[in-house]
Amino acid sequence: MEVAQHKITVNAYAPGIVGTAMWDLIDEELGKIQGKPKGESIKKYSEDLILLGRTSVPEDVAKCVSYLGSPDSDYMTGQTLIIDGGIVMS
């Protein structure tokens, strides 16, 4: 609200599980705790929690960020776009 008067938009994006080095490390550490081999924890979360049935790739998030940085989002402000493939938390 403070910067809208200056025609500045402020938006955010909230990614879910993205196939990056960070999530590789998370998967590895979860595997140690759960006694599962590398790759199994993230695979289970992807299959059980993500409605689209797959972990996202950086390009999925990049498309969202590109939209926010483009003129197509000029009339959008104060929003957070959740880009997680439809994670269902129970």
| pLDDT tens string 34-43 | 999 999 999 9
CATH of domain 4-83: 3.40.50.720
Mean pLDDT calculated for residue range 13-36: 95
Instruction: Give the residue carrying structure tokens 């439809």.
Output: 86
Instruction: Indicate the helix (H) or strand (E) that contains 82.
Output: strand 80-83
With 90 as the cut, is the pLDDT of residue 90 above it?
Answer: no
CB 83 within 8 A of CB 56: yes
- The residue ranges of every structural domain in the chain are 4-83
How does residue 69 score in pLDDT terms, banded at 50, 70 and 90? very high
Mean pLDDT calculated for residue range 34-62: 93
